Structure 1
C-alpha cells in the first residue's frame, strides 16, 4: 500500500477494555438542550418523527423533562407551541428573537411585545442564536454585538420574569483557524466549509468571548446559560475563571462530550468543583439520540477509549462522577434554574404513557 486517504482510514482498536452497557441514566435527567423543530430538522420537522413515540423513548432512558431550543419567533413559534401543546408538562420551550429589524425605531417595542406574548404562552427562556454576530448587521454595516446597549432591554425583561437567557457566541476555536493539516477539526471543515469563520470578515473568536463576558458581567441580575461549556470547552481554565467571576453564569455540556472526554482528569475535577453550575444537555434531535447514551457513559463510568460518533475518529474516556454530583448535573440544577417542581419529574412518564394509551 503506497498511500491511504484519511477518509478511508478506519482502524480497529486492539486494546482490550471494559465498555459498560448503558440502558438508561442512573438518576432522573433534564436535558436542557434539545432540538424538536426547524433548527435541527428543517421546515418539515413535524413529518419526520412521531412526538409521542419520541417522548416515550426518552422516558425509558430516564429523561423526565426536556428543553426545546427551537421555539423561534412569529409563525414558527406558534407552529411549535401547537405541535407540543399536549406535552407542556414535559417540554419547556425557549423563544428566540427576530433581529431582522434590528436598529429600527420599532425594534425594542416589537421585541418586548414578542417576549411578553411568548412568556404568557409558556415559554420560559430566551435563546439568542450564536449566528447573530456572524449574520446580522446594523444600518452602519457593523455586525451585531451581544453587548450592544440596544439589547439591554432584553436582558432586563429576562431578569424581570426570572427566566434564563441562553447564549453561545461561537463555534469550536478550530473553526476560526486556517483549514490545513494543523487544524484538529479539518475533517469537519472539509465536509462543511461554510462552518469556517477563518478570515471571512466576521468577529474573531477573542472578540466574541469579550462580548460574552461583557454581557454577563454587565447584567448581573440576569441568569445566563452559556451553551457548549461556556463557548470554550477546549479551555477549562478560561471557563472556570468566568464562573468564578460571574455567579449568574451557568453552562451546559451539550455537544461537548468529545472535547471533555479527551481530558478526563481535568474534566472530572471541573465537574466536581462547579457541580452547582453545570447543566446536562445533548444538542440532540428526535432523529439522533446517540449523544444521550454517550453522555451517560461519559458521566457515570470510567470506561476507556470509546468512540464518539459526533467528533470524527476521536476516542474519549469516562469520568465516573459521584452520585451527589450526578444528581445536580442531571436534574437538580435545572429544576432550580427553570423552577420545575421535583415531584413533576416523577409523574411525567406516567402522564405520557396515559396519553399514549388513550390515543391508541
Structure 2
C-alpha cells in the first residue's frame, strides 16, 4: 500500500510538472505580442503572418532618418492601426530638427500630443541621441541634456511610456574578434559608424549608461521601457541590479537573444532564475523590420525567428544558434512566466492591446 502511494505521488508530480510548461505544439495556440517590431510601409503583410502565428505587433517608430520619414512612418502606422485595430499598435517618436531654435520643446510636445491623439501608445528615443546628433556647437547631445526635461516631465505627467534605445551593446566598444555574439560582430562590421571601438572620441559605454540613468534619476515617475535589455544585455546580474534601482522600468529582449544564448551556455540556471525573478519586467520582442514588398522568404524568416525564441523560452530542448558558438538548453520557463513575457507584460506596461 505504501509503495502504491509513493508511485501515485510520483505520477501525480510528473503530471503536474508537465502541465506547468508549454511545448512546441502550443506555439500557435498561445496569445503572443512582439513588443518591438518595425513597420516602414503602408501595406504590411507582416500583420497577416502575425495572425497565423497568434501574434500581435507593437511597431516602434524611430527617428533613424530625416524628420520627413518620422512623419511618413507615423501616417503609415496610423493607417495600419485603423485597418488592424486588434492586431497592431504603435509608438510615436520625435525629431531633433530645430533643437537649437526657440520653441523646440513646445513644438515637440505639440507633435507628441498629436501622435497620442492619433493612437500611439508610447514615445521612442533612439541611439542618435548620444551617438550621432550634435548641437550648433558640434557637441553630442546626451539623453540627460536639460533641454529634454520638459518633454520627459510631460510624458511622466501623462503616464506615457518612454521607449529607449540608448547606447549600444557593450560589444560595440570591443574589437570584432572579441565580441561575444556573431550578430554583433556582423552588425558592426557592416555599420562601422556605430562601432565605438573605432571611435574613441565618442562617449564611452559607461558614459552612455550614466546619461540614461541620470535622466531616469531626474524623472522618477517616468515609465521607461529599455529596448534591447536596456543595453545591459551582457550580464543578467548587472541588469537585475538596474531593474532593482528603477522600479518604473521594464526591458524588451529585441535583437539580444544572442547575448542570452551566450550567457545560457555559461550558466543556464542563473539566466533562468533571472527570468523567473523579473518575470513582470521582461517583454518579448524581435526588432524585425518590414519595409514592404514582402516575400515568402520574409514571412518564413519572421515565423522561424518567433519559433526559435519560443523553443528557447518554453522548452528545455538542446539548441544551437547561428548567433553564437556552442550548444545550450532552453530555459523551459513556467507557463505563467511565458504568458507574462509574451503578452500580459506588454499590455500592462503599455496599457494597450
TM-score, scaled relative to structure 1: 0.79
Indicate conservation of the 8 Å contact 1:71/1:80, yes or no: no
Alignment correspondent of 1:55: 47
Q: Unpaired segments of 5 or more residues in structure 2? A: 1-22, 64-69, 291-297
1:189–1:135 Cα change, 3 Å: closer
Indicate conservation of the 8 Å contact 1:33/1:69, yes or no: yes
Once the two structures are superposed, the pairs formed by residues 204-223 of structure 1 within 5 Å of their partners are: 204-223=204-223
C-alpha displacement of 1:84? 4.1
Indicate conservation of the 8 Å contact 1:261/1:267, yes or no: no
Q: Distance in 1 between matches of 2:189 and 2:253?
A: 25
Indicate conservation of the 8 Å contact 2:62/2:126, yes or no: no
Q: Distance in 2 between matches of 1:313 and 1:22?
A: 27
1:205–1:157 Cα change, 3 Å: same
Q: Distance in 2 between matches of 1:236 and 1:156?
A: 30
Indicate conservation of the 8 Å contact 1:71/1:81, yes or no: no
Once the two structures are superposed, the pairs formed by residues 144-163 of structure 1 within 5 Å of their partners are: 144-163=141-160
2:310 corresponds, among 292, 296, 303, to 296
Q: Distance in 2 between matches of 1:32 and 1:187?
A: 24
Once the two structures are superposed, the pairs formed by residues 106-185 of structure 1 within 5 Å of their partners are: 106-179=103-176, 181-184=177-180, 185=184
Q: Is 1:285 the equivalent of 2:289?
A: yes
Q: Distance in 2 between matches of 1:325 and 1:21?
A: 16
Indicate conservation of the 8 Å contact 2:125/2:166, yes or no: no
Q: Give 4+ residue runs of structure 1 displaced > 6 Å after superposition.
A: none
2:39 corresponds, among 36, 39, 57, to 36
1:218–1:207 Cα change, 3 Å: same
Q: Which moved more, 1:122-131 or 1:256-265?
A: 256-265
C-alpha displacement of 1:153? 1.6
Root-mean-square deviation over aligned CA pairs: 2.2
C-alpha displacement of 1:245? 1.0
Once the two structures are superposed, the pairs formed by residues 304-323 of structure 1 within 5 Å of their partners are: 304-307=318-321, 309=322, 311=323, 315-323=327-335
Q: Distance in 1 between matches of 2:189 and 2:76?
A: 35
1:269–1:142 Cα change, 3 Å: same
1:146–1:76 Cα change, 3 Å: same
Q: Unpaired segments of 5 or more residues in structure 1? A: 1-19, 38-44, 342-360
Q: Distance in 1 between matches of 2:117 and 2:185?
A: 45
Q: Distance in 2 between matches of 1:190 and 1:149?
A: 34
Indicate conservation of the 8 Å contact 1:100/1:136, yes or no: no
Alignment correspondent of 2:195: 196
C-alpha displacement of 1:195? 3.4
Q: Deviations over 1:158-187 (max 9, x none)?
A: 1222221001212221211234x3344545
Indicate conservation of the 8 Å contact 2:24/2:310, yes or no: no
Q: Distance in 2 between matches of 1:24 and 1:275?
A: 19
TM-score, scaled relative to structure 2: 0.80
Aligned residues: 307
Q: Distance in 1 between matches of 2:335 and 2:314?
A: 9
